[in-house]
Amino acid sequence: MSGDGEAGLRLELSPAQREARQRCRDFVAEHVAPHAAGWDRAAQLPDAAIAELRRRGYLGAHLARELGGGGVDPITYGLLTEEIGRGCSSLRSLLTVHDMVGEAVRRWGGARLKAEALPGLARGERLAALALSEPDAGSDAASVETAAERDGDGWVLSGRKRWITFGMSADLFLVLARCGGQLAAFLVPAAAPGLGREPIAGVVGTRAARLAEVTLDRCRVPAHHLVGRVGFGLSHVFSTALDHGRYSVAWGAVGIAQACVDACLGYTASRRQFGRPLAGHQLVQRKLTEMIVNTRAARLLCLRAGYQRAQGAPDAATETLIAKYFASRTATRAANDAVQLHGANGLSQDYPVERYLRDARVTEIIEGSTQIQQIAIASCPPGEL
């Protein structure tokens, strides 16, 4: 115990944080959740949904108000992400990739690039996507083959990027490329000559996330579109983006898990078998309890990571890794159990839990797969709490 009478650790939300969460929850309940199944089936998020996110300041919410962003603290940002993820993972994934790019440019872009790009990103007027994965480069990000070469007063990029979330809608791409033997990051406008994109159809999860394959055919960008310096594209620029992405995905996964809890508490209370509600059966109660407790634990890890991020603590990146690792696995388990508790109904599109399961699987693959995180966490354990 501390000697001055203070309890020390506090994990209570401020009134402003609760208020921001409630506003977002109301928005999701009215404008997102009722439509998410339809968007998923159509594999298309309507422009109106993106416009609504923009109008409400949810795109670029973490960027400073002076830039036109929302200026929200990391915990509020997480709470908003959970609420949107609870309603629709495809919509949440737009926030994830857009803000990953905004964060990387804010942190490592040069003054001119920041002045040009950040206000539009902060207000959500220009959408951004992360162009990292390639047909032959996934978890092994350092093996990308997209090439960048210096050409007079600019850079010329050539290569192919795959699985680009919201790649069909982005106005700007953050591209990881090989520059000689080193890696470098570039902000590439979608309108740059030589940039092409094709939709990727038939994906299992976050189906409305407008996935694209992006082709760069001697695509030219000005010199100041290099983000950071050559040699630091992955270790610092994309690492910054991925760190932000993991924080976002962690909270989004908590949202999926909470949606599973909500769906299952409702379903097991009303569905009757063997003469009583499902919730009256002990094996059902066991699954519900696991789901409730793990969702709560995942949220606490996210809050811990958010607190560390707000403090600028060196361990924030590791805490974020841990939160993402646990939350994404929790979402998958919760959704798997949710389908099981719904029985045959759980396999039907008439109920949301099959979508939760498909979307949860995505969170274990993006922004560092579960297996890559198992390696990373063991090699960089956080300090004592």
Partner 1 sequence: MNDVQSRIKSFLSRFFRQHDLQSDEDIFALGFVNSLLAMQLVTFVEKEFGITIEDEDLDLANFRTLAAIDALVERKRAPRAAAGAGAGAGGAAAG
Three-class SS state of 22:
helix
Residue 149 annotated among the catalytic residues of the structure: no
Smallest separation (angstroms) from partner 1 to the CB of 299: 23
Nearer to partner 1, 43 or 376 (CB): 376
Residues binding partner 1: number (CB under 8 A):
27
- Cα 337 from Cα 320, distance rounded (Å): 25
Q: In whole angstroms, give the CA distance from residue 98 to residue 121.
A: 8
**Near partner 1 by CB under 8 A: residue from 153, 276, 344, 379:** 379
- The active-site residue, picked from 103, 354, 364, 367, is 367
Q: Which member of 314, 347, 349, 350 binds partner 1 (CB under 8 A)?
A: 314
User: For the window 210-229, what string marks contact with partner 1 as x by the rule CB under 8 A?
Assistant: -----------------xxx
Q: In the complex, what is the shortest distance from the CB of residue 100 to partner 1, in angstroms, rounded to a whole number?
A: 14
Q: Smallest distance, Å, CB 282 to partner 1?
A: 43
Site for partner 1 in 315-374 (CB under 8 A): 315-318, 321
Residue numbers 273-312 binding partner 1 by CB under 8 A: 312
Q: Which of 70, 109, 205, 255 binds partner 1 (CB under 8 A)?
A: 109
The distance in angstroms from the start CA to the end CA of the chain is: 14
Q: Which of 108, 173, 351, 356 touches partner 1 by CB under 8 A? A: 108
Is residue 155 within the footprint of partner 1 (CB under 8 A)?
A: no
Helices (H), the chain: 15-27, 33-42, 47-55, 74-87, 89-108, 111-122, 239-270, 282-311, 316-342, 353-363, 370-379
Environment class of residue 82 by beta-carbon count within 10 Å: exposed (0-12), middle (13-18) or buried (19+)? buried
Q: Classify the phi-psi angles of 211: left when phi > 0, otherwise alpha if psi is within -120 to 50, otherwise beta.
A: beta
Question: What is d(CA 104, CA 244) in angstroms, rounded to the nearest whole number?
Answer: 9
Q: Residue 153: which residues within 8 A CB-CB, separation 6 or more?
A: 222, 223
Q: Please identify, using beta-carbon distances, which residue of 233 and 255 lies nearer to partner 1.
A: 233
Buried b vs exposed e over 204-226: b needs ≥16 C-beta within 10 Å?
ebbbbbbbbbbbbeebbbbebbb
Q: Does the protein bind partner 1 through residue 143 (CB under 8 A)?
A: no
Q: Is 125 helix (H, G, I), strand (E, B) or coil?
A: coil
Nearer to partner 1, 54 or 236 (CB): 236
Q: How far is the CB of 320 from partner 1 (least distance, A)?
A: 10
CB 279 within 8 A of CB 269: yes
- What token pair was written down for 17? 């944080």
C-beta closer to partner 1: residue 19 or 66: 66
Q: How far is the C-alpha of 99 from the C-alpha of 113, rounded, in Å?
A: 16
Cβ 242 vs Cβ 138: under 8 Å: no
113 three-state secondary structure: helix
CB of 237 to partner 1, least distance (A): 9
Of the pair 23, 112, the CB lying nearest partner 1 is at 112
Tell me how far, at minimum, the Cβ of 245 lies from partner 1, in Å. 13
Among 80, 122, 234, 278, indicate the residue that binds partner 1 (CB under 8 A): 234
What is the closest distance, in whole angstroms, from the C-beta atom of residue 85 to partner 1 in the complex?
Answer: 24
Query: Site mask, partner 1, residues 235-274, x = CB under 8 A?
Result: xx--xx--x-------------------------------
Q: Which are the contacts of 23, defined by CB distance < 8 A and separation ≥ 6?
A: none
Q: How far is the CB of 185 from partner 1 (least distance, A)?
A: 10
Q: Which of 16, 64, 269, 380 binds partner 1 (CB under 8 A)?
A: 380
Tell me which stretch binds partner 1 (CB under 8 A): 36-44, 131-139, 186-194, 231-239: 231-239
DSSP structural state of residue 134: B
Residues recognised as catalytic? 367
Contacts to partner 1 by CB under 8 A: 108-110, 227-229, 231-232, 234-236, 239-240, 243, 312-318, 321, 376, 379-381, 383
